[in-house]
């Protein structure tokens, strides 16, 4: 069901109900691209059944599906059409179109060609575990994940998300595991990794289907290269590729997961896949974060007898929501500090 996961922490104040989520998604159901629309996205039934519910709840976990449709229009085709129109204008007027005119011609050519383009569809699965306050997006591109997060926050009232970060950098941990040949408890190092240098050369070394407990790998690490990808397995049940940005890619459930289970009927396949994914990955994710030193605490440790809350009051009395993304929190703190003036001290100084 899932091939890639980017993991987010859900704000404590958001308590979703199936009906509320269903009603919110219904306002943004998928519609195919119009004749001159380059992109269209919207919500579709996760089971793939026409007119089915937009939210599936299985064992308390919510499953959503976002459909993306785009028109394939290569830039070379647009340029060819622009050159053709520009040549016609030069022939008729005796003058070449200027920069502004060429920009307008590019827009004209795009509008002409879009209705003739092929359409390309893809889908993105979203998995929400309310009790664990986790939201996972099955997308390999960070940019696409950001688009999905923006759409979710816009669609689901009260939802706040921030990208989970580990206390220790994944690259640092992966380097230590490779140097020592020892992974965290329950994990094993498999036979694929990528090492990159941090100097101006940006050298890259890749190993595929290759033993990694060798001196050559350790020499690359000692020379300053850092792991950006490392293949691992968890309890011989799930194999995956861990990246230096804490993305989980190339997820595959191993034979041990299916032992003792009959092949489900076609109409039961979705439920079976969702149950397996939630059970196996729901155990793997916290174990992996623990192996990376635990989750980074953006709020910091509260003093004895106190509990860290999800808000902070700036000197100008602005209330900062700490359930936002880390970048948003940083920007809000900086703005509040600037507004406070040079002579005002923040209460945490």
What's the pLDDT tens digit per position in 79-131? 999 999 999 998 899 899 998 999 999 999 989 888 888 899 999 999 999 99
Contacts of 22 (CB under 8 A, 6+ apart): 53, 54, 55
pTM > 0.85: no
DSSP 28: T
Contact 277, 257 (CB under 8 A): no
Half-sphere exposure of 47 (CA within 13 A, CB side): 17
CA 137 – CA 346 distance, rounded (Å) = 37
pLDDT of residue 308: 43
Going from the C-alpha of 344 to that of each of 125, 254, 312, the distances in angstroms are 47, 59, 16
Q: pLDDT at position 121, please?
A: 92
Least confident residue range of 131-135, 226-230, 337-341: 337-341
Residue 346's contacts (CB-CB under 8 Å, 6 or more residues apart) are 314, 315, 336, 337, 340
Top-confidence residue, 272 or 315: 272
pLDDT at 31: 93
The answer for residues whose C-beta is within 8 angstroms of residue 40's C-beta and 6 or more apart is 30, 31, 32, 33, 34, 68, 69, 70
Backbone angles phi, psi at 342, to 5 degrees: -70, -25
Each residue's pLDDT tens digit, 226-266: 999 999 999 999 999 999 999 999 999 998 898 877 788 77
Query: Counting beta carbons within 10 angstroms of the beta carbon of residue 37, is it exposed (0 to 12), middle (13 to 18) or buried (19 or more)?
Result: middle
| Alpha carbon distances (Å) from 58 to 64, 94, 260, 277, 285 | 11, 68, 21, 11, 19
Sign for the pseudo-dihedral over CA of 277, 280, 285, 288: negative
Q: What is the pLDDT of residue 215?
A: 95
Average pLDDT of span 38-62: 94
State the average pLDDT over residues 313-342. 46
Q: Is 87 helix (H, G, I), strand (E, B) or coil?
A: helix
- The whole-number pLDDT of residue 277 equals 92
Quick one: pLDDT band at residue 345, thresholds 50, 70, 90?
A: very low
């Amino acid at each position: 069901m899932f091939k890639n996961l980017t993991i987010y922490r859900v704000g404590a104040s958001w308590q979703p109900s199936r009906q509320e989520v269903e009603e919110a998604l219904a306002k943004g159901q998928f519609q195919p691209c119009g004749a001159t629309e380059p992109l269209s996205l919207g919500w579709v039934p996760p089971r793939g059944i026409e007119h089915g519910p937009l939210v599936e709840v299985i064992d308390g976990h919510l499953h959503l599906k976002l459909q993306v449709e785009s028109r394939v229009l290569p830039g070379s085709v647009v340029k060819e059409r622009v050159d053709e129109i520009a040549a016609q204008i030069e022939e008729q007027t005796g003058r070449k179109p200027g920069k502004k005119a060429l920009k307008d011609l590019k827009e004209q050519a795009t509008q002409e060609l879009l209705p003739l383009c092929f359409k390309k569809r893809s889908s993105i699965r979203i998995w929400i575990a309310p009790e664990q306050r986790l939201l996972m997006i099955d997308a390999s591109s960070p940019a696409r994940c950001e688009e999905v997060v923006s759409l979710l926050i816009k669609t689901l009232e009260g939802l706040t998300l921030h990208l989970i970060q580990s206390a220790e950098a994944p690259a640092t941990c992966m380097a230590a595991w490779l140097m020592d040949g020892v992974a965290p408890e329950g994990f094993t190092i498999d036979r694929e990794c990528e090492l990159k240098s941090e100097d101006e050369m940006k050298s890259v070394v890749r190993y595929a289907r290759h033993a990694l407990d060798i001196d050559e790998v350790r020499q690359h690490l000692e020379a300053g290269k850092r792991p950006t990808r490392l293949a691992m397995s968890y309890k011989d049940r799930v194999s995956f590729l861990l990246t230096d940005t804490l993305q989980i890619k190339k997820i595959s459930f191993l034979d041990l997961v299916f032992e003792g289970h009959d092949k489900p009927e076609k109409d039961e396949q979705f439920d079976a896949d969702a149950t397996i994914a939630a059970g196996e990955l729901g155990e793997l994710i916290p174990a992996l974060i623990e192996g990376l030193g635990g989750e980074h605490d953006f709020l910091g440790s509260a003093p004895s007898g106190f509990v860290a809350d999800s808000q902070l009051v700036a000197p100008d009395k602005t209330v900062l929501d700490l359930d936002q993304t880390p970048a948003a929190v940083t920007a809000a703190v900086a703005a509040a500090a600037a507004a406070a003036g040079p002579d005002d001290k923040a209460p945490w100084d």
